[in-house]
Amino acid sequence: MSKQFEDYFLELQADMVTICMEYSEGKTDDIYIYGSYEPNMYSFDVFFKVQNVVVHAHKLSDIYPDIDTSTERQSAMLDIGNKNLMSIHGICKEYGHDMPTEIKLHYNVKENSLATKYKYELIYSNDEELLPDDIFDAWFEEIKKKHKKNNII
């Protein structure tokens, strides 16, 4: 049986999760991956929940000092994520599917489950001040606030 569009699409998302797992050395509880594509611009970033704290990738070493969060290692992870987004775009073109403008992945490490959310409309291209980092930061704050709220009982 030959691979279909969905197989390639899921394979590339799984690779994004894998590279983030490698970066975090499997020591996180949750991985939140943000991917964005709007005409001629790809953006990829990630944050984690570890020991009941939501943190940016460069802050993992504050919790686990043995994790290498050097600029070089972060850049390598983000480069691979961006290449995966480009590959997803290529697969979408090849199979005649629309490329999502936004991909949000939430991987629950302990449950080995992946939740996905896609958008297909332009989000920041038509806004003179909004950037992909703004969308990513807003999602980070939303998850951080949600997590704090859930732990105040």
Task: Encode pLDDT of 22-67 as tens digits.
Answer: 999 999 999 999 999 998 899 999 999 998 899 999 999 999 999 9
Q: List the CATH number of the domain containing 108.
A: 3.30.500.20
Which pLDDT score, from 0 to 100, does residue 153 have? Answer: 43
* Lowest mean pLDDT, pick from 97-101, 115-119, 122-126: 122-126
Sequence-distant (≥ 6) Cβ neighbours of residue 86 within 8 angstroms: 42
Q: Which residues constitute the domain of residue 140?
A: 5-150
The predicted model scores a pTM of 0.94
Average pLDDT over residues 83-99: 96
Backbone angles phi, psi at 56, to 5 degrees: -70, 160
Average pLDDT over residues 129-150: 89
Q: Provide the domain count of the chain.
A: 1
Does residue 152 carry a pLDDT above 70? no
* Lowest mean pLDDT, pick from 1-5, 112-116, 142-146: 1-5
Which parts of the chain are beta strand (E)? 30-38, 41-50, 53-56, 102-108, 113-119
Backbone angles phi, psi at 152, to 5 degrees: -100, 65
Query: How many Cβ atoms sit within 10 Å of the Cβ of residue 113?
Result: 9
Residue 1 CA to residue 15 CA, distance in Å, equals 22
Phi/psi class of residue 79: alpha, beta or left (left: φ > 0; alpha: ψ in -120 to 50)? Answer: alpha
Q: With the CA atoms of 24, 27, 30 and 36 taken in that order, what torsion angle do they form, in degrees rounded to the nearest 10?
A: 0
